[in-house]
Structure 1
Amino acid sequence: MALADLVDDVPEILKNWPDRPKLFHRDPAALARLWSLDEVEELVDAECLPARNVVLLKDGKVLERYTYIDGEMPRPGTIRAHLDVGGTVSVRQLQTVKPSLSVLRREIQDETGCLVHVNAYLTPPGAQGLKYHYDPYVTLIVQLSGRKAWPLQPPFVEHPMTEHGNFLERGFTLDERRYLAHTAPAQTFTLEPGDVFWLPRGYVHSPYTEGDEPSLHLTFALKERTFHWLASEMTREVLSQALVDPALRAEIPPSDLLSTPDAAIRWTREYLIGALLLLESGHVAEVARKAAARAGQ
């Protein structure tokens, strides 16, 4: 499988990266081969999920760390007991658990140049794991079992990044919390087995299970390459090339740096501007392509 097995018109998506939610439909039986409810239940009951791969969620909260055996495995029965009281189990970095998902993840990385990780979410009937939050990357949601509703609000932060983007870091302002508490969702998508949902970064969402069956879905997080990333790669290349220049390797006298650094700052700024202007575009393009391709390695 590759990206085309999950979404339509991959060439168009790669050319015009979608910035609005999009819903695709696939054969539920084909998607079920990715991971199944039976596989999750077997891993849970056999106590085969290491603590590093498991996060327990309930009613919008990430629960405190649970008791371990030897610091690595959850205490026996912990995960099943959490499910029995309506808790959500998130299996993180699922590509490290199932080889076929590792292959698919690598194929998507090769196609897009994005860093990708795969998580799974198992939520009991009538329950909710995380409440309103947003992610600093595209989330490709693959519904495998049950039904899950996705209420959405447009982004509060335009093009959020990891440094300020998700609900564990930036959070919501007081005004944003009031807005979410008193405003109906702008859109709601209800996913059923076979649905694949493209959720652009920044969209605020609060998914919950609908119906009498548990919901199981995968999320493929596509960590997009941004102009900030490209600027970092170009600056890294300039500094790498600059190591051959003795002028840049020269020391700054402590008195200049600590008391009157203006001259050193001006000289360094002019040096960087000049070096960036001298970068050959073809060389920079090759550097960027290789850096993006490293996602798949």
Structure 2
Amino acid sequence: MSVTTQTAEDTAADDGGGVLGARLTRLGREEFARDVWGRVPSLTRAADDFSDLFSAQAVDELVSRRGLRTPFLRVAKNGATLPESAFTAPAGVGATIADQLDDTALWRSFADGATLVLQALQRTWEPVADLSSRLGTELGHPVQANAYVTPPQNRGFDDHYDVHDVFVVQITGTKRWILHEPVHPAPLRDQPWTDHRTEVAAAAEGEPWLDTVLEPGDVLYLPRGWLHAARAQGEVSIHLTLGVHPWTRHALAEHLAQSALALLADDEEMRGSLPLGWDGPGDELAFVRDRLAAAIGSADPSPRVRRVRRSQARPEPLGPLAQSAALAALTPDAPLRLRGALAPRLDGLRLTTRVGWLDFPEGDLPSVRRVLDGEAHTAGELGLGLAERLLRAGVLVPAGA
């Protein structure tokens, strides 16, 4: 077994790696891509102090004061997930919602050894949302975030693998992790571990590839497909999993095939009915294969891929009242910036983003390109009319926001 391990002293604080290098791995992006990404687990001891990111107080606030509903939380015990009815209840007068979290029921489940799984923290907890967005931008693959809160000496789930890569970030307490090599390397999203339950169980009985205890500040990277199980030690354990949902060549092939089929919809012969009495591919298959191959040769999946990629993440949060105030107070010296995580793309006269598209006259393009550099610019630099239009569209925000 050869696990990649780094310590806080291994490299400079960033090494050009942004969140990846500064907080998670102590590796630059190129080094991580070459030696680790999708290949082997990587353990980074004392990667960072994550007290700014998440905490026990954050768990209590989310569970008891935020009015969360399912599926923002799951509860698991001894490898099984509890039914939602075991930890939800009506919200009371004025809120006709039957599935809000019941903090009393959650406390009783937790005291009885259940693990609390706070899901999609990239939507509900700002520090985690910010880190997830930045990491997703750096990696080029969408990121989600969950928190696992496990009582002492308990586990939430049996040995299994995930269909996405994860960075395990230990927040408080300690947790023992046992890893085994994949039984189905690089699984696709529709190839869960339950499809290989027997092989997973057998592999979990073998010699571990890695058996280690994570302490606060440690980070463990797991490529998808690697078997793992974890158990809290002598105190409550809280860890985050930053789940990276990688794009694959298979996914690109799917979009290429869909783009080719869209082209074939304009082919009258392909739209034609098969002969009467047809009972199987037969001679027709060769004709269809030739036309499909030709369509694949000329199809461009890029627009479809870009559209799907934009839909896989959300832009930086936008406050309607702050945006309204910025519009009302707009002056030539007002500093503005591009809203974060918009995934903007300027093609010709059209700007496409996660919040829609806008067409511009030729004369506005220099200012639009200036906006896309990500720096702050005054409304006067851009032109008041253009600045107002982009503020209204949610593309620009006040530079202090």
Same-fold status (TM-score > 0.5)? yes
* Residue 288 (structure 2) pairs with residue 268 (structure 1): yes
State how far apart, in whole Å, the 2-side matches of 1:78 and 1:66 are. Answer: 10
1:262 maps to amino acid: G
Cα distance change on mapping 1:72 and 1:27 into 2, 3 Å: same
Change (3 A) 1:278 1:235: same
Percentage of matched positions with identical amino acids: 26
Partner of 1:118: 145
Q: Which residue type is aligned with residue 279 of structure 2? A: S
Q: Deviations over 1:33-81 (max 9, x none)?
A: 1111111123334473322211101111112232432332134511111
Which secondary structure does the structure 1 equivalent of 2:85 belong to?
coil
Verify the 8 A CA contact 1:25 1:196 in the aligned structure 2: yes
Return the match for 1:58 from 77, 95, 117: 77
Alignment of 1:75-224 (within 5 A): 75-166=102-193, 169-173=194-198, 176-181=200-205, 183-211=206-234, 213-224=235-246
Q: Distance in 2 between matches of 1:216 and 1:162?
A: 26
- Provide the C-alpha distance between the structure 1 equivalents of 2:250 and 2:285, rounded to a whole number of angstroms: 22
Alpha-carbon separation, structure 2, partners of 1:12 and 1:295: 26
**1:240 matched to 2:262:** yes
For structure 2, the 5+ residue unaligned runs are: 1-17, 91-96, 314-353, 355-401
Match of 1:6 among 24, 44, 47: 24
Once the two structures are TM-superposed, the CA of residue 191 in structure 1 deviates from its matched residue by: 0.9
Contact 1:14 1:112 in 2 (8 A): no
Report the AA paired with residue 72 of structure 1.
D
For residues 157 and 56 of structure 1, the distance between their equivalents in structure 2, rounded to whole angstroms, comes to 27
Q: Is it true that 1:35 corresponds to 2:64 in the alignment? A: no
Task: Please give the alpha-carbon distance, in whole angstroms, between the structure 1 residues aligned to 2:200 and 2:129.
Answer: 37
Distance of aligned partners of 1:122 and 1:260 in 2 relative to their CA distance in 1, 3 Å threshold: closer
Shift, 1:176, TM fit: 4.4
- The higher radius of gyration belongs to 2
Cα pair distance change 1:108/1:252, threshold 3 Å: farther
Change (3 A) 1:286 1:49: closer
Secondary structure of 2:262 counterpart: helix
Q: Hey, what's the Cα distance between the residues in 2 that align with 1:202 and 1:289?
A: 26
Comparing 140-149 and 157-166, the one that deviates more: 157-166
CA RMSD of aligned residues (A): 2.5
Specify which structure has the bigger relative contact order, considering alpha-carbon pairs within 8 angstroms and separated by 6 or more residues: 1
Cα offset, 1:218, TM superposition: 0.6
CA change 1:160–1:121 in 2 (3 A) is: same
With normalisation by structure 1, the TM-score equals: 0.85
Q: Find the aligned partners of 1:290 and 1:56 in 2 and give their Cα distance.
A: 34
Over 3 Å counting, the alpha-carbon distance change for 1:295 and 1:44 in structure 2 is closer
Q: Secondary structure of 1:172's partner?
A: helix
Q: What TM-score results when the alignment is normalised by the length of structure 2?
A: 0.65
**Aligned partners of 1:286, 1:75: CA distance in 2, in Å?**
44
Give 1:239 shift: 2.3
**Per the alignment, do residues 52 and 112 of structure 1 end up closer, same or farther by CA in structure 2, a change over 3 Å counting?**
same
Amino acid at match of 2:197: F
SS of residue in 2 equivalent to 1:90? strand
In structure 2, C-alpha distance between the alignment counterparts of 1:286 and 1:171, rounded to whole Å: 35
Aligned partners of 2:220, 2:200: CA distance in 1, in Å? 25
Structure 1's unaligned 5+ residue stretches are none
Say whether the 8 Å CA contact 1:45–1:80 is kept in structure 2. Answer: no
Q: 1:171 to 1:41 in 2, by over 3 A?
A: farther
